[in-house]
Chains A and B, each alone.
Chain A
Amino acid sequence: MSDTNTDTRTPLLEFRNINTHYGAVHILKDVNLAIYPGEMVSLLGGNASGKSTTLKTLLGMVTPTSGEVVLDGEVVNDKPTSYRVERGVTMVPENRRLFKRLSVKENLELGAYLRNDKAEIANDLERIYTMFPRVKERLNQKSGTLSGGEQQMVAMGRALMAKPRVLLMDEPSMGLAPALVQTNFELIQQIHEEGIAIFMVEQNANMALSLADRGWVLQTGRVVLDDTAENLLANPELQKSYLGGA
């Protein structure tokens, strides 16, 4: 897992010199990224550095103004979100964002919205129930009435229902009680061990890097560090900016 000489394989998802604007505001500046199948990588950065924008651009919810988004070697700049979701790119949005007034079951089913394989969907539902027994107990409850920890499980379950090859996680520990942050990272680890690539966006650098293979550091839309997790953890600059900045 800590193998970083993956350059000979085709990346699952890739940014080549991506620039993104909101109106006239330049957000992402010449960003290059590559996520390989089955690895766990992390994107670090302070508030408003462009982390969420990176994920939205990867998923096609925001169109870059220049550069290429590449999925399995194919440039997908003008492909819709559904195209990418169908091919295994799935996002767990910031703050979980469940469909609060729909039931837990409906939330899970919506995760599989683009899939047609009924039998397999039923199978995956079962898998999620064994993974999260608490979710199964609350299938018909409105997801907005769940506790924070349960909501996190449903959010993960919903994402897994899309049969992802790579999970884009937007600050998974945000808004969680401290006790749950740890459980949550364990959960991510568990999902990763099933062979699903994880691209985790975090402000919590230490925790994210202790799990990830590699990482990037984003500062006002520019990648300022790109290294193995080990090196990043040891990097005095990063430690300083995270202890002093943000």
Chain B
Amino acid sequence: MTATTVSNSGSANEPLSIDAVSKGAFDFDMRAALTSGLILALSLVFIALCGIPEGLNERLLIKPVLSLGYLSLLWLPLLFGWLSGNETVLEGMVATKKGARDIVRGLFVGLIGGLGLSLLTVLMDAFDLRDPLVNWSPATEEVLQFSRSIGFGVIAWPVLGAILGAFGAALHVMPEKIRKAVMAGLGTVLSFAIFATFIVDVADFLDDLLYARRGGLKWGWAIALFVIGAGASFLGGGRKISEMKSSYQAATGPAKRQQTTTLILLSLAALIIIPLITGKITQELFANIGIFLLLALGLNIVVGLAGILDLGYVAFFAVGGYTTAVLTSPNRGPDFEGFPTLPWWGALLVTIIIAGLVGLFIGAPVIRMRGDYLAIVTLGFGEIIRLLFLSDWLNGWFNGAQGITNVPPADFGFFSVKGTDPRSVFYLVLFFAAISIYVSWRLERSRLGRAWMAIREDESVAEAMGINTVNMKLMAFVVGAVLASFSGAIFAAKVGSIFPTSFLILVSVIILVVVIVGGMGNIMGIIVGSVVLIGVLGGPKQPGLLAEFSEYKLLIYGALLVVMMLKRPEGLVPNARRSRELHQDEFLQDAWLKGEVDTDDDMVDPSTGGEGTVAPA
């Protein structure tokens, strides 16, 4: 699909089944365009029938022209238009120049997509299918008709689709500089519109200035922001950043180390300062991101490095949370009678030990299994641990469904960490995240890390090298458990009460998605993954910046996973290794084009010349 991939579908000399003979604006694969158009139409209808446009219509982005509900539909034709422009038929090996025909194709794709919604508008008016389809409702109908009339809706959707599709495709045709400016402008407007709560939280004087009273950017400001964003990009704002980036990448040796240190110190300073000047919403957001980052870092060691697909990772989060809660709260189960309550940091030490032991205990039987079996068994253990905390049997310790309330703040004398002060939580999380990142980073480069990678690659060969695979895998499990328990301990102090329902399987799933989407085995990717997924979409129960989407969170996670697996299996921030191995065909092809790899190697080994070609009998 990408322009660099050589496909054999369109070599210039071969007669093609499509009408590629005529040159001009309509010289594109009509069938393929029709297919993308239909996929677009189906996607749009699906989103509409999920009730997303209607549910999010209240949230105005730009007053009065655009709501989040409409955006949930309109971004798709734009994307499809852009993607259709990517499907260039290669002639020989040189990609053809983008031009009018790409725009026409984008327009065509968008038009078909829009027609899908027109059809839905008409059908909604004519039939009542509300029984199986709950969102076949007057409210959805109203959105589809733009609150005007059927006729308006039926015409407006294809027109909008076509315009956006053509625009998406046109992005390929514009000169690079203009394209970047347009994207920057759009990005600025949308960021200000979508992340309004966050922006107001950081700088509340902007509230009255930029935003209308019931939410949404004032449209005058929307235009102004577009101009500002585009102008900044046009005048070279983005170029400075990319220059700095490439100079950083080019640096080596001590210079690079120095730059890395500076970069880390700067980010750390920024992370310490930002919460000081922002409001509670941002601080809470940061704290939640941190808590899930800690979990993701731990799971990354287990899944990303050692290759153990643990689907019950929430178990260790639960153990961390519960252990800290019962050791610090006066409201724990009656069977703890006589145990002194500990301060948070004292409890933390015990928590680490208990989590490590539970890691050993669960790990020992599980670790001998491989692949799918292991995944299923860990899934089971994740549930068993939660059910134990919920059970009548241990009710005397853990209070069953009532949970453990009144978990006191973590008191460090000079400052105390409690849920009502999300900033303090964030600082505590930051401290532990820094430790975990450092530990992960060191482990990855250690002998232990190498043993884990060998096991991930080929367990029996690793064993043959003398690696004690059972012990090493157990070790990964224990390290993962301990990192998760940090997170649980902080979580307990933050929320002040711990219930079995805080530790549903969903938590395991979300952490795993963070790890996969970010890029397995890659610390930077895990950080970006946490910020994007937890920060924007939110955690299992914690709202993100797009709190409106929380109802559709799983849908979005699912879609994201599918798209990532298909298009970018190496994660958002790939490391060179993963991306090379996952795109090996393309990599080899590129190398072959550049003449780096001779693929006939196996037949005649150049190092021995032509000698020794006699095949043994």
Which residues of A are at the interface with B, using a C-beta cutoff of 8 A?
59, 61, 80-82, 84-86, 91, 93, 97, 99-103, 106, 109-111, 113-114, 133-134, 142, 144-145, 147-150, 158, 162, 173, 176-183, 186, 204, 206-207
Contacts and interface: CB of A to CB of B under 8 A. Distances in A.
Nearest to B613: A179
Given A110-B465, A113-B466, A204-B616, A102 B603 contact: no
Interface string B513-541: 00000000000000000000000000000
B372 interface: no
B605 A183 contact: yes
10 contacts: A84-B466, A99-B454, A100-B457, A100-B458, A101-B577, A110-B465, A177-B602, A177-B603, A182-B613, A183-B612
A179 B599 CA distance: 15
Contact of A61 (B460, B577, B584, B591): B460
Contacts of B599: 147
Contacts of A134: 607
A102 B457 contact: yes
B461 interface: yes
A99 B462 CA distance: 9
B463 interface: yes
A177 to B, nearest CB: 4
B587 A145 contact: yes
A4 to B, nearest CB: 25
Contacts of B461: 93, 97, 99
Secondary structure type dominating chain B contacts: helix
A206 B614 CA distance: 14
Contact of A91 (B447, B464, B581): B464
A113 B601 contact: no
B466 A82 contact: yes
A182 B614 contact: yes
Given A179-B603, A180-B605, A82 B467 contact: yes
Contacts of A204: 616
Contacts of A111: 465
Contacts of A182: 612-614, 616
Contacts of B581: 100-101, 142, 144
B247 interface: no
Contact of B453 (A102, A147, A149, A173): A102
A51 to B, nearest CB: 15
Nearest to A99: B457
Contacts of A101: 457, 577-578, 581
B608 interface: yes
B617 A110 contact: no
Contact of A86 (B463, B466, B601, B607): B466
Interface of B: 447, 450-451, 453-454, 457-458, 460-468, 577-578, 580-581, 584, 587-588, 591, 597-599, 601-605, 607-608, 612-617
A81 B464 contact: yes
Contacts of B604: 179
Nearest to B596: A141
Given A102-B457, A147-B602, A113 B451 contact: yes
Contacts of B608: 179, 183
A78 to B, nearest CB: 15
Contacts of A80: 468
A104 to B, nearest CB: 12
B601 A150 contact: yes
A179 B607 CA distance: 12
B450 A149 contact: no
- Listed from nearest, the 7 A-B pairs whose CB atoms lie closest are A85-B466, A147-B601, A178-B615, A99-B457, A82-B466, A182-B612, A177-B602
B615 A113 contact: no
Contacts of A144: 581, 584
Nearest to B451: A113
B466 A81 contact: yes
B607 to A, nearest CB: 6
Nearest to A149: B605
Contacts of B607: 133-134, 149
Given A82-B466, A93-B464, A102-B453, 6 more contacts: A106-B453, A113-B465, A145-B584, A145-B588, A150-B601, A158-B465
A145 B580 CA distance: 10
A97 B465 CA distance: 12
Nearest to B587: A145
A61 B617 CA distance: 33
A80 B468 CA distance: 8
Contacts of B602: 147-149, 176-177, 180
Nearest to A93: B461
Given A144-B584, A182-B614, A113 B447 contact: yes
A90 to B, nearest CB: 8
A142 to B, nearest CB: 6
A82 B458 contact: no
Given A86-B466, A91-B464, A148-B601, A181 B616 contact: yes
Contacts of A113: 447, 450-451, 454, 465-467
A162 B617 contact: no
B605 A179 contact: yes
A7 B556 CA distance: 72
B450 A97 contact: no
Contacts of A91: 464
Contacts of A86: 466
Contact of A206 (B464, B580, B603, B616): B616
B616 A162 contact: no
A173 B614 CA distance: 14
B614 to A, nearest CB: 7
Contact of A106 (B450, B578, B597, B614): B450
A99 B605 contact: no
Contacts of B451: 113
B454 A102 contact: yes
A106 B446 CA distance: 12
B469 to A, nearest CB: 9
Contact of B450 (A110, A142, A177): A110
A207 B616 contact: yes
A24 to B, nearest CB: 20
Contact of A179 (B466, B578, B612): B612
A209 to B, nearest CB: 12
A129 to B, nearest CB: 14
Contacts of A176: 602
B309 to A, nearest CB: 16
B580 A142 contact: yes
B596 to A, nearest CB: 10
